[in-house]
């Protein structure tokens, strides 16, 4: 058997909002423009680019839960991890979770310090936080490569790709294109026109059209192979992604596609040569809109959990979404495959749930029925967007102020009553509080309410803001607001994504 060089398979990990998706999108779109190609016509969970004539395969992935599922099924195909850490935010819970996974799988990785174009970032502080996690970058005397980037503008991305290329060369990744086929399923679905489809990355051997294949008990013959741009392929070599049409049923994510009738015992020894680089892996894909317009106050249960009803187009995709739901922060009221029904809308109404519909067309009559009951339905087309968005909301349940930046803090030092209206006399301790600011009323670090200021006065003068060390009288929209001397008023703004 002839072992030949193959492209590295790269996965990007990191905390929510640190720029993983932005980086993947920038790399993909820039490469397409460089080739003068049209826009991507489909999303297959992975894509391949060329950097200075050398191929690099990137996996689009929504999170760690999918990795764990794939590991359970023995599918570890990632060669290199890019750990994204935001320069303005530093090491966060999912950064630590990513590092735990990297250490467990012993996968080579580098650190991409993102958002360096934001004013006031302190990159050395981020590197110092990484040291606390036993990650010492080269500029601090360690051996881990770090690259400073802006995924939004593209600054430093060329350096990142160059570093990845060098790391891949040092790994000397090889596979045998003549060995029996092994391809890992990174996504699967049932297309209304194509039937069952499997999106894969080939590990060894060569995937070809008209090839008889087997995934567990599912048989098939490859009728069509396409890449992420919808281009038809005749063959797919190790390290390359593709979409397969021709299976008789939808396979599980993480399962391995083999050539029917091939002898895999002979190939096992050569396969071991590349096992050392097989670490994490992929995930499913596509589709999302933001949750910015969702009133999450209406979607939380009594125990501060997000109530959800999840519907998806196929079982495999539904499973992938459910794997990423944290039971500590979410009540899964119902889930299933197929269209959203009126019964589910009624269930969402009674349970105060949000409905997620993935890759399903919600009929106008259904939408109108939901609107009449005040039920929100969020529709998605890209799974990694959906899951990142879901992770963000679960983090907000566990830590409600995770996306907030404090801009002012005041203490209630006196209570007044004028013409039957309760007035809070406050002294601003830090920053500034404006009449129009978003506010929290806190007592002993617990948020009691989110008051709205209707009037702000200093003496007899009506004012619009009050700065540190100054005092003011505040009147709130909620006439029954329970505030006391010693309570704290926090002014904040939402952090930009």
Using only C-alpha atoms, what is the Rg of the chain? 26
Confirm whether 291 is domain-assigned.
no
Answer whether 83's CB lies under 8 Å from 160's CB.
Answer: no
The domain of 133 spans 4-174
CATH of the domain at 336: 3.40.50.10050
- On whether both 164 and 30 belong to a single domain, the answer is yes
CA atoms within 13 A on the CB side of 56: 27
Q: Which candidate, 259, 285, 49, 271, places its Cα nearest to that of 186?
A: 285
Q: What is the pLDDT of residue 400?
A: 58
Show which of 123, 145, 174 is a domain's final residue. 174
Q: What is the pLDDT of residue 414?
A: 93
Q: What is the pLDDT of residue 283?
A: 29
CATH of the domain at 467: 2.40.30.10
Dist. CA 485–CA 492, nearest whole Å: 21
CA atoms within 13 A on the CB side of 363: 9
Confirm whether 281 is domain-assigned.
no
Q: Give Cα 74 distance to the centre of its chain.
A: 23
- On whether both 162 and 13 belong to a single domain, the answer is yes
Dist. CA 199–CA 284, nearest whole Å: 9
The conformation of residue 137, written as its DSSP 8-state character, comes to B
- Sorted by sequence, the CB contacts under 8 Å of residue 447 that are 6+ apart come out as 400, 401, 440, 441
Which pair of structure tokens corresponds to residue 450?
């989110």
Give Cα separations from 441 to 194, 407, 408, 446 (angstroms): 55, 14, 12, 8
Q: Which candidate, 73, 136, 78, places its Cα nearest to that of 107?
A: 78
Show which of 221, 248, 265 is a domain's final residue. 265
What stretches of 29-70 adopt beta strand conformation (E)? 46-51, 54-59
Q: Give Cα 313 distance to the centre of its chain.
A: 20
- On whether both 155 and 196 belong to a single domain, the answer is no
- On whether both 55 and 204 belong to a single domain, the answer is no
Confirm whether 275 is domain-assigned.
no
Confirm whether 287 is domain-assigned.
no
3-state class percentages of the chain: helix first, strand second, coil last, to nearest 5: 25, 35, 40
Dist. CA 344–CA 355, nearest whole Å: 8
pTM of the model: 0.56
Q: What is the pLDDT of residue 447?
A: 83
End-to-end C-alpha distance for the chain, whole angstroms: 49
Mean pLDDT for back-to-back runs of 10 residues, the chain (497 residues):
89 85 86 52 76 90 52 70 93 84 87 93 92 93 95 95 96 94 88 89 95 93 91 95 94 88 63 37 31 48 70 84 79 88 86 89 89 88 79 63 78 88 92 92 86 91 92 89 92 72
CATH of the domain at 20: 3.40.50.300
Written as one string, the DSSP assignment of 172-222 is T-EE-TTSPPEEEEEEEEEETTTEEEEEEEEEES-EETT-EEEETTEEEEE
Q: What is the pLDDT of residue 187?
A: 81
Dist. CA 163–CA 80, nearest whole Å: 11
Q: What is the pLDDT of residue 269?
A: 45
- On whether both 258 and 142 belong to a single domain, the answer is no
Q: Which candidate, 338, 393, 277, places its Cα nearest to that of 5?
A: 277
Angle of helix 64-72 relative to helix 315-323, nearest 10 degrees, comes to: 120
Confirm whether 471 is domain-assigned.
yes
- On whether both 201 and 168 belong to a single domain, the answer is no
- On whether both 38 and 168 belong to a single domain, the answer is yes
The conformation of residue 78, written as its DSSP 8-state character, comes to -
CA angle 105, 188, 386 (to 5 degrees): 75
- On whether both 202 and 68 belong to a single domain, the answer is no
- On whether both 197 and 325 belong to a single domain, the answer is no
Give Cα separations from 336 to 63, 254, 313, 357, 399 (angstroms): 21, 21, 9, 10, 29
- On whether both 219 and 143 belong to a single domain, the answer is no
In the block, residue with structure tokens 């009221």: 333
Answer whether 492's CB lies under 8 Å from 440's CB.
Answer: yes
Confirm whether 41 is domain-assigned.
yes
- Sorted by sequence, the CB contacts under 8 Å of residue 139 that are 6+ apart come out as 127, 146
Q: What is the pLDDT of residue 295?
A: 45
- On whether both 306 and 417 belong to a single domain, the answer is no
The conformation of residue 495, written as its DSSP 8-state character, comes to P
Tally of structural domains, the chain:
4
Dist. CA 314–CA 345, nearest whole Å: 20
Confirm whether 273 is domain-assigned.
no
The torsion of the CA quartet 23, 29, 35, 37, rounded to 10 degrees, works out to 160
Show which of 150, 174, 198 is a domain's final residue. 174
- On whether both 147 and 33 belong to a single domain, the answer is yes
Confirm whether 285 is domain-assigned.
no
């Amino acid at each position: 058997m002839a072992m030949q060089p193959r492209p590295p398979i790269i996965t990007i990990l990191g905390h929510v909002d640190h720029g993983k998706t932005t980086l993947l999108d920038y790399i993909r779109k820039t490469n397409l423009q460089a080739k003068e190609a049209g826009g991507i016509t489909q999303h297959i969970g992975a894509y391949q680019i060329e950097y200075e004539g050398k191929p690099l395969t990137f996996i689009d992935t929504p999170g760690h839960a999918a990795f764990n599922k794939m590991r359970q099924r023995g599918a570890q195909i990632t060669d290199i991890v890019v750990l994204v850490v935001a320069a303005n935010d530093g090491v966060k819970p999912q950064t630590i979770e990513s590092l735990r996974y990297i250490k467990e799988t012993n996968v080579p990785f580098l650190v991409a310090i993102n958002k360096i174009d934001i004013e006031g970032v302190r990159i050395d502080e981020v590197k110092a936080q990484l040291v606390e996690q036993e990650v010492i970058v080269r500029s601090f005397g360690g051996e881990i490569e770090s690259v400073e980037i802006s995924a939004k503008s593209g600054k430093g991305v060329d350096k990142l790709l160059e570093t990845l290329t060098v790391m891949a060369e040092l790994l000397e990744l090889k596979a045998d294109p003549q060995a029996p086929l092994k391809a890992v399923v990174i996504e699967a679905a049932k297309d209304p026109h194509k039937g069952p489809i499997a999106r894969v990355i080939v590990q060894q051997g060569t995937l070809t059209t008209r090839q008889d294949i087997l995934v567990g008990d599912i048989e098939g013959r490859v009728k069509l192979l396409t890449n992420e741009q919808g281009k038809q392929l005749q063959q797919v070599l190790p390290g390359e992604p593709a979409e397969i049409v021709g299976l008789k049923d939808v396979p599980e994510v993480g399962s391995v596609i083999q050539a029917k009738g091939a002898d895999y015992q002979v190939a096992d020894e050569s396969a071991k040569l590349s096992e050392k680089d097989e670490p994490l892996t992929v995930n499913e894909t596509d589709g999302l809109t933001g949750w910015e317009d969702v009133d999450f106050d209406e979607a939380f249960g009594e125990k501060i959990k997000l109530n959800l009803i999840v519907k998806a187009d196929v079982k495999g995709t539904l499973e992938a979404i459910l794997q990423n739901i944290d039971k500590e922060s979410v009540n899964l009221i119902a889930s299933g495959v197929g269209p959203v029904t009126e019964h589910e809308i009624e269930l969402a109404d009674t349970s105060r749930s949000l409905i997620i519909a993935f890759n399903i067309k919600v009929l106008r009559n259904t939408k109108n029925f939901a609107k009449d009951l005040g039920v929100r339905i969020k529709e998605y087309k890209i799974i990694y967007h959906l899951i990142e968005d879901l992770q963000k909301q679960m983090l907000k349940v566990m830590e409600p102020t995770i996306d907030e930046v404090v801009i002012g803090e005041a203490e209630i030092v006196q209570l007044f009553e004028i013409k039957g209206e309760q007035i809070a006399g406050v002294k601003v301790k830090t920053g500034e509080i404006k009449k129009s600011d978003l506010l929290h009323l806190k007592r002993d670090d617990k948020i009691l309410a989110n008051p709205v200021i209707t009037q702000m006065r200093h003496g007899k003068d009506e004012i619009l803001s009050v700065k540190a060390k100054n005092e003011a009288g505040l009147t709130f929209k909620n006439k029954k607001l329970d505030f006391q001397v010693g309570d704290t008023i926090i002014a904040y703004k939402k952090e930009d994504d």
